[in-house]
């Protein structure tokens, strides 16, 4: 229980209105409202500062599912645009291996395929012919994945 929960629980148990701060100025130091605020201030002072989202750092991977593009497709891309080929020439280990190695953030690009087969080009996996959510980088171009479907 953090300090806010503790203060709220005490206030609820004692039917104390925490919004009535004016009463504290004129309260007897032994009154319930004065005791409440003393307890609240002690709880706040003793509490650890809150962790903000921008204080967190986790190890993760971008396009976590991505496998290398087929050689023929990569060669054609390199002939047309060497910089794009260099940017897309990478692959990741399977998701479980990434998690076992310490990754705590995975990025998946999800593509909706309502009828099935929409993104099956170049894949022999029957799951790509079924309706559902597919995981791939660029439809019909960079679509090899170590996690073909979301579910």
Per-residue three-class SS string for the chain: CCHHHHHHHHHHHCCCCCCCCHHHHCCCCCCHHHHHHHHHHHHHHHCCCCCCHHHCCCCEECCCCECCCCHHHHHHHHHHCHHHHHHHCCCCCCHHHHHHCCCCEECCCEEEECCCCCCCCCCCCHHHHCCEEEECCECCCECCECCCECC
Predicted pLDDT at 123: 83
Predicted pLDDT at 14: 59
Averages of pLDDT over runs of 10 residues in the chain (151 residues) are 64 60 55 68 74 87 94 94 95 95 94 94 89 92 91 80
Predicted pLDDT at 32: 66
Predicted pLDDT at 8: 67
Predicted pLDDT at 148: 92
Predicted pLDDT at 68: 95
pTM above 0.85, yes or no: no
Predicted pLDDT at 109: 96
């Amino acid at each position: 229980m953090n300090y806010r929960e503790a203060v709220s629980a005490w206030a609820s148990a004692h039917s104390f209105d925490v919004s009535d701060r004016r009463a504290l100025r004129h309260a007897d130091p032994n009154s319930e409202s004065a005791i409440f605020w003393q307890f609240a201030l002690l709880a706040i002072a003793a509490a650890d500062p809150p962790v903000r989202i921008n204080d967190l750092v986790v190890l993760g991977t971008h396009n976590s599912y991505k496998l290398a593009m087929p050689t023929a497709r990569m060669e054609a891309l390199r002939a047309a645009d060497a910089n794009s080929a260099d940017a897309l020439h990478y692959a990741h280990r399977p998701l479980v291996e990434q998690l076992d190695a310490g990754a705590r953030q995975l990025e998946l690009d999800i593509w909706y395929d309502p009828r099935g087969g929409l993104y099956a080009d170049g894949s022999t996996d029957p799951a790509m012919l079924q309706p559902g959510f597919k995981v791939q980088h660029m439809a019909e171009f960079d679509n090899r994945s170590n996690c073909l479907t979301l579910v």
